[in-house]
Amino acid sequence: MIFKRLNYQTLQSLRLQGYNILLTIGRSEDENPIYFPMKLESFNAAKNAASLKDSTQQGQKILILDEAIQRSLNNDLNGVIQLDH
């Protein structure tokens, strides 16, 4: 398991690998959340759904990767990304 800081370079690398969302486990209000990159196949249809954007569901927070990249430019994100390799 590898943990990487949530920053612009890491997010860009994930996007190039085909990931399009980040999902947390645990409480959504954690100060330093752990995100898991995921590939959502039907993302284009879901992207327009307002309920997906920065939503929380059963303690999970979902971030759209492109929007997370924009927020990272302003240092508006905190947390780490857990990678399996």
- Over the stretch 46-64, which tens digit does the pLDDT of each residue have? 555 444 544 445 567 888 9
Q: Residue 32, Cα to own-chain centre: how many angstroms? A: 13
Average pLDDT for the chain: 81
| Residue 11 banded pLDDT, cuts 50, 70, 90 | very high
Pairing mode, strands 34-38 and 80-83: parallel
Domain span at residue 22 reads 2-83
- Whole-angstrom Cα distance, residue 37 to residue 80? 11
CA-to-CA distance for 17 and 39, rounded, in angstroms? 9
Q: Per the structure block, which two tokens stand in for 16?
A: 């190039």
Tokens in use for 52? 């997906």
- Residue 76, both tokens: 């508006």
pLDDT of residue 84: 82
Q: How many domains does the chain have?
A: 1
